[in-house]
Chains A and B, each alone.
Chain A
Amino acid sequence: MGVPVRIHVNGALHQHDVEPRVLLVEYLRDVCGLTGTHVGCESSLCGACTVLIDGQAVKSCTIFAVQAEGRAVTTIEGLAQEGRLHPVQEAFWERHALQCGYCTPGMIMTAVQLLKDHPQPTRAEIAHGLKGNLCRCTGYTHIIDAVEHAAGSRQGAA
């Protein structure tokens, strides 16, 4: 039943035989043991499962692991470099952009692509870019603050 799959996850090559019906999110969580990517729905509408595939934000609940063959996947666990939080992670912490934290990994991964596409987004652009991510705790204001903050700090660093 298993199909051999090779996926680069957070820079490391993973090779496994997986059943075709295993979703990428299940593969990441159950096979790779990376449980930072969350599941909040079956209808692809909450974004808690968002990861990057070749730099693009994707809902990992809506793609089978076999489809990621040969691709480079980045999960929330792979964002910090050498123990230093990614600027978006740092900004979420700084601006109290999370409460229960369940939506947070997906929010952060989406924000990473958002900032890549729009390095200096307006608040409206940020809100629009985060449309695919639900948060039931924060009411979003601090999340938008955080993405703005991350944009600012990257600007400062550049």
Chain B
Amino acid sequence: MSTTTGEKIGYVGRAMKRVEDPRLVKGIATYVDDLRLPGMLHAVFVRSPHAHARVKRIRTDAARAAGGVVGVFTGAEVNAQCGTIPCASSFPDLKSPKHTVLAGDRAYFVGHPVAVVVAATPYAAADAAELVDVDYEPLPVVTDPEKALEAGSPLTHPDLGTNAAFTWNLTGGDIDAAFAKADRVIRQRMYHQRLTPMPIEPRGCVASYQPGEGTLTLWTSTQIPHLIRTLLPGMIGIAENKLRVVAPEVGGGFGAKLNLYAEEALCSHLAMRLGAPVKWIEGRRENAAATIHGRDQVGDYEVAVSKDGRILGLRNRTIADLGSYLQLLTPAIPTLTGLVVTGAYKIPAVRMDVVGVYTNKMSTDAYRGAGRPEATYLIERLVDLVAAELGLDPVEVRRRNFPAPEEFPFNTATGLTFDSGNYEGALRKAQQLARWDELVARRTSRRRAGALFGIGVSTYVEICAMGPSKAMAAGGWEWGCVRIEISGKVTVITGVTPHGQGQETTFAQIVADRLGVPIEDIVVLHGDTSVAHYGRDTYGSRGTAVCGSAIVMCVDRILEKARRLAAALLDARPEQVEFADGAFAVKGSGGKRLGWTELAGEAYIAKNLPRGFEPGLEASAFFEPENFTFPFGTHICAVEVNRDTGDVTIVQYVAVDDCGNQINPLLVEGQVQGGIAHSIGQALFERTVYDEHGQLLTGEFMDYPMPRAEDIPDYVLGSTVTPSPVNPLGVKGVGEAGTIGATPAIANAVMDALRPLGVTHLDLPLAPEKLWRAIRQGHKE
């Protein structure tokens, strides 16, 4: 790390406000719905109101005849030209329906698009959509993934002959021996509810075709413009290098926009077909029904333990409800659960069997946390159950099973290598911040006063910085580029696609320090495949760890080149030249200093370059991570449950997260707080509900409860810093930590509150009525 600017306090590590904010607080940023192109047409989709139905006939003549309508298209008219929605994860025996952009002869979830109307205005399109007359014949519906596996169950896709999409298993260590020698086996069935990501900006896109150039530009509210540029060409028949994908300002993603969706492909196709720009803006009800959902796993979990609380083995069968078709990462999510199922503990033996099941619902896919919240929740609940069964302190059980700091890099039974960690350190710090002894005393006194008071702890580890390309379907490297412009200003281009994470700021901090330039001189560009040529985009808490590292490589290359140039201009050898405060000078000479403006001028005007010296001052780099990173931490939550109503009040919340080095602690804090809010929702009230007919009952904000400001307690947040050895910044990633670590802490706290009533486990969400019933039952017994 020879490139930092010595003792001077740099930008990195400082809680800085963001450079992206002025345009956002002024309301002058450009989201996809803000785009207006000349001649732009508007698309509105007609969607199935049935969970499963034969599409017998679609009458479109009235709609076609309506004012302003340019075209009405059904599956018969577009599917042949549009290919099927891609899934990036493959399994040997994966069965998969051909999911076309519009339903063919069958619609298989509520919200399945069956036709699209394109008109001159959104009003005309909406009016005409009302006139599209679809004749449906309802078919038997599959909603319960467990019943779906029973013989004689109706089939989500009759042509597949089964509702099982795949079976997958993971084994590590000798699981049978572990259970054979166990003093005790603890079993619990747990259901991890379905959730709807609900970014506040729904999806949307504008596709525009330039017939002269034969190029298509797709502006879309996505986390993955680069992956779309890789995947879309094959679907709609355009060359990759004729397609430009732009993610403008994106109003939140949380995994919901980590996908290539039918609407994006179809609008692209229609723009080419109609020779006019086509815009589609998703409504909230469409978003709830036809943008991916998350979680939805149910399983029977078993742990083998010794009587001193050591976990010897973990075994389970998990059924993952995939919904009705595969989106980009649908089958990969439960397998990610498997990889991190051992949590922060040394568990020598594991067996996990996963069955992915098709049901007549929207697909599940990566929702913030993606697989890890499921794993963390189940292991953290199990540890509490173990403690209860053995009469041990749940914190002590955790301690006994942690790997010690000197055991890192630590190999798990699931085949991962945890990069670095000090789990005990984070736990200790969290207990200090929570004033543990006082908190426990408070529980005693509140209980004595008749209150239902509980304390919950979660010590989590997660997997981030995705990832080594060998483990990632589309490659896990990241690309960056740094250019010193001729004026001396610095342009940074990143292949990740931030949409709230703040990398315009953090990457500028990194580069400013390393180049010794003021942060105001740096611009960070992203999200446009014609600017950021390559990238693997933003998900899996990878941006800073993977692309930050690529950018460090770029800076190092520029510094090396600039040093050679400076040496030549200063008549010295490169080793004699030192770099400090943004300028090069001959060591110890006290003489002439060459700053970036001078060097850039020389590099581009190119009159004084040494023979063979390549002009320009720019470098790009691909960073290939050697391993994932494994952030960790401890969350402690205390709750009180209202005996009469089952309402939960979070009375204390402490989180200590270790995401390695922190580039900008203010932004880290924001990510953690945002993540915990998702957990509060998941733990206490959020759930996506389909009824037995496959009707979506949580299809809008009226019915899908999300945290509002009043649901948020005051937090005490802290951190420990255990740098990751697998990237030059020592960072781990923090985008999902709060969502992963907090849910179990809250759930454990509520369960602890009900423990005196003999309640041992309830599934999420721990909504008032459920708790009220448990309390009432507890009182009866």
Contacts and interface: CB of A to CB of B under 8 A. Distances in A.
A and B assemble together: yes
Interface of A: 19, 21, 29-30, 34-43, 45-46, 48, 75-77, 79-80, 85, 89, 92-94, 96, 98-105, 108, 123-124, 126-128, 130-131, 133-144
B669 A96 contact: yes
A143 B33 contact: no
Interface of B: 17-18, 20-22, 24-31, 33-34, 36, 123, 197-202, 249-254, 283-285, 499-502, 666-667, 669-670, 673-678, 700-702, 706-710, 712, 714-715, 738
B284 A131 contact: no
Nearest to A132: B708
A135 B29 CA distance: 17
A102 B201 contact: yes
Contact of A21 (B24, B26, B123, B675): B123
B700 A100 contact: no
A140 B677 contact: yes
A131 B708 contact: yes
Contact of A102 (B28, B31, B673, B706): B31
Nearest to A75: B27
Contacts of A135: 200
Contacts of B673: 138-142
28 contacts: A36-B28, A40-B200, A41-B284, A42-B284, A43-B702, A48-B201, A77-B28, A85-B25, A89-B25, A93-B18, A93-B22, A93-B25, A98-B21, A99-B502, A101-B29, A101-B500, A103-B200, A103-B251, A104-B24, A105-B25, A131-B710, A133-B709, A136-B200, A136-B254, A137-B500, A137-B674, A139-B738, A142-B669
B701 A92 contact: no
Given A104-B24, A127-B708, 10 more contacts: A36-B26, A43-B701, A89-B26, A96-B666, A105-B27, A123-B714, A133-B709, A136-B254, A137-B500, A137-B670
B200 A100 contact: yes
Contacts of A143: 709
Nearest to B283: A42
A100 B709 contact: no
Given A46-B200, A93-B22, A100-B251, A131 B27 contact: no
Contact of A99 (B674, B676, B706): B674
Contact of A144 (B199, B250, B709): B709
Given A41-B700, A100-B499, A101-B251, A140 B28 contact: no
A137 B199 CA distance: 8
Nearest to B700: A43
Contact of B701 (A35, A102, A134, A144): A134
Given A98-B25, A139-B673, A35 B33 contact: yes
A41 B21 contact: no
B701 A139 contact: no
Contacts of A142: 669-670, 673
A34 B17 CA distance: 26
Contacts of B34: 29, 35
A102 B200 contact: yes
Given A100-B251, A100-B499, A102-B200, A77 B712 contact: no
Contact of B284 (A29, A36, A40, A123): A40
B26 A80 contact: yes
B709 A127 contact: yes
Contacts of B30: 35
Contact of B27 (A36, A41, A133, A137): A36
Contact of B201 (A19, A35, A38): A38
Contacts of B27: 34-37, 75-77, 104-105
B706 A136 contact: yes
Given A85-B26, A143-B709, A38 B676 contact: no
A94 B197 CA distance: 28
Nearest to B285: A42
B677 A139 contact: yes
A108 B709 CA distance: 14
A79 B28 CA distance: 12
A127 B708 CA distance: 8
A79 B25 CA distance: 10
What are the nearest 10 A-B pairs in CB distance?
A36-B27, A102-B251, A101-B24, A139-B677, A76-B27, A99-B500, A100-B500, A139-B673, A35-B34, A127-B709
A128 B36 CA distance: 36
A5 B249 CA distance: 32
A141 B676 CA distance: 11
A45 to B, nearest CB: 4
A108 B252 CA distance: 18
A46 B197 CA distance: 14
Nearest to A103: B200
Contact of B199 (A34, A93, A100): A100
Q: Identify which of A85, A104, A131, A143 gathers the most chain B CB atoms within 10 Å of its CB.
A: A104
Contacts of A89: 25-26
B676 A139 contact: yes
A42 B709 CA distance: 21
A79 B253 CA distance: 28
A58 B575 CA distance: 65
B677 A96 contact: no
B201 A139 contact: no
A128 B710 CA distance: 6
A101 B738 CA distance: 20
Given A101-B249, A102-B200, A141-B712, A134 B706 contact: yes
Q: Identify which of B199, B200, B250, B700 gathers the most chain A CB atoms within 10 Å of its CB.
A: B200
A45 B701 contact: yes
Nearest to A143: B709
